């Protein structure tokens, strides 16, 4: 792996794009300070230019060169980094981050990924890396190198780190006025309960205005497999595969993918996108999804499923 990490670092330093594993999903990385490199990411993904990217950094010290951290923001980072928590903080203009990365906003989304390969590439390249999920905009996020190669065959270099551990994108938060509350912009592996326990401050979910969302990527339609997704399914209909949860029997005779036999929500999160990719590979016309409890990381699972089901 050592040579591949060196190669990835070189490509990134030469304004190239590399797909790499994080603990959440695979990212499509580029030097965040280089317009040409960042433009390639938008182009490969077919991503609308108004949707800003998360910048990945080695640690808090690197993050503080790019954004302003309040006391509570710094505390959250100390508890959860490296890990699947992204903070949206005021941007330091002098940091030289490409305006394409922030889509012209005066804030920036920052996170330090926990995956050892991502950390090695950050160290090796010495760069801050803008990296959205490594999929075509609007499609299901990749949790394996194979998903990346299928969805984005034109990416030059894919660093293979196996299946990702968390399976869902990072939790995104922003501090409210005067650090009085934490605003949840996207649910993810770091749960509301964990955030509140870490700093004793209430987490509020932002009802995002669909016409002008605070987090522009929170547009409803997203994560869409080719097959139509039907939620809270109690039965299965002709042509559908079944995405199961628990030791159940519904749909075992059609394409069936169990998110978790043991009803373990972390396992279900880890397997969710792989399950959606698998369903498309079976050629089903629809996916009947069995009910999944809306607690802990279940909130993030249901958030992704709702978007996958949106017309």
Interface region with ligand TXA, contact rule CB under 6 A, candidates 80-88, 195-203, 224-232, 250-258:
80-88
Residue 70 near which of ligand TXA, Mg ion, none (CB within 5-8 Å, type-dependent): none
Q: Does 191 bind Mg ion (CB under 5 A)?
A: no
Q: Within a 13 Å sphere around the CA of 81, how many CA atoms are in the beta-carbon half? A: 22
Exposure on the CB side of residue 70, measured as CA atoms within 13 A: 17
Which is nearer to ligand TXA, 185 or 279 (by Cβ)?
Answer: 185
The whole-angstrom separation of Cα 62 and Cα 158 is 25
Among 86, 112, 119, 125, binds ligand TXA (CB under 6 A): 86
Specify the residue, 102 or 133, whose C-beta has the smaller distance to Mg ion. Answer: 133
Measure the CA–CA gap between 234 and 192, rounded to whole angstroms: 29
Q: Hey, which residues between 181 and 240 contact ligand TXA (CB under 6 A)?
A: 185, 214-218
**224: contact with Mg ion by CB under 5 A:** no
Q: Interface residues for ligand TXA in 136-165 (CB under 6 A)?
A: none
The answer to the question of residue 108 lying near ligand TXA (CB under 6 A) is yes
Q: Tell whether residue 107 is a contact of ligand TXA (CB under 6 A).
A: yes
**Applying CB under 5 A, which of residues 34, 86, 125, 133 lies at the interface with Mg ion?**
133
* Interacting residue with ligand TXA among 7, 10, 51, 246 (CB under 6 A): 51
Q: Using the rule CB under 6 A, which residue among 133, 258, 270, 302 binds ligand TXA?
A: 133
Q: Does 52 bind ligand TXA (CB under 6 A)?
A: yes
Q: Give the shortest CB-303-to-ligand TXA separation in angstroms.
A: 11
Site residues, ligand TXA (CB under 6 A): 22, 24-25, 27, 51-54, 84, 86, 88, 102, 105, 107-109, 113, 131-133, 169-170, 172, 185, 214-218
């Amino acid at each position: 792996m050592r040579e591949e990490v060196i190669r990835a670092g070189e490509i990134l330093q030469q304004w190239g794009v590399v797909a790499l594993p994080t603990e959440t999903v695979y990212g499509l990385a580029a030097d965040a300070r280089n317009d040409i490199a960042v433009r390639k990411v938008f182009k490969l993904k077919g991503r609308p230019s108004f949707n800003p990217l998360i910048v990945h950094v080695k640690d808090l010290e690197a993050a503080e060169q790019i954004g302003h951290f309040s006391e509570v923001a710094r505390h959250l980072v100390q508890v959860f980094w490296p890990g699947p928590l992204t903070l949206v903080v005021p941007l330091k203009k002098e940091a030289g981050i490409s305006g394409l990365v922030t889509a012209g906003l005066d804030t920036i989304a920052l996170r330090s990924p926990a995956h050892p390969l991502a950390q090695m590439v950050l160290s090796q390249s010495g760069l801050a890396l803008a990296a959205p999920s490594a999929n075509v905009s609007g499609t299901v996020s990749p949790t394996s190198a194979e998903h990346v190669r299928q969805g984005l065959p034109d990416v030059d270099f894919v660093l293979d780190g196996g299946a990702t551990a968390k399976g869902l994108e990072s939790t995104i938060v922003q501090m409210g006025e005067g650090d009085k509350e934490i605003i949840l912009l996207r649910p993810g592996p770091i749960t509301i309960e964990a955030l509140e326990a870490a700093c004793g401050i209430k987490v509020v979910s932002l009802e995002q205005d669909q016409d002008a969302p605070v987090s522009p990527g929170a547009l409803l339609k997203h994560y869409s497999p080719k097959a139509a997704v039907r939620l809270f399914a109690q039965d299965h209909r002709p042509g559908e595969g079944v995405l199961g949860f628990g030791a159940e029997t519904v749909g075992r005779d059609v394409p069936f993918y169990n998110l978790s036999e043991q009803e373990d929500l972390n396992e279900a999160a880890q397997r969710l996108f792989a399950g959606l990719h698998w369903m498309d590979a079976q050629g089903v016309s629809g996916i009947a999804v069995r009910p999944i409890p809306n607690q802990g990381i279940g909130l993030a699972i249901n958030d992704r499923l709702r978007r996958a089901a949106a017309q």
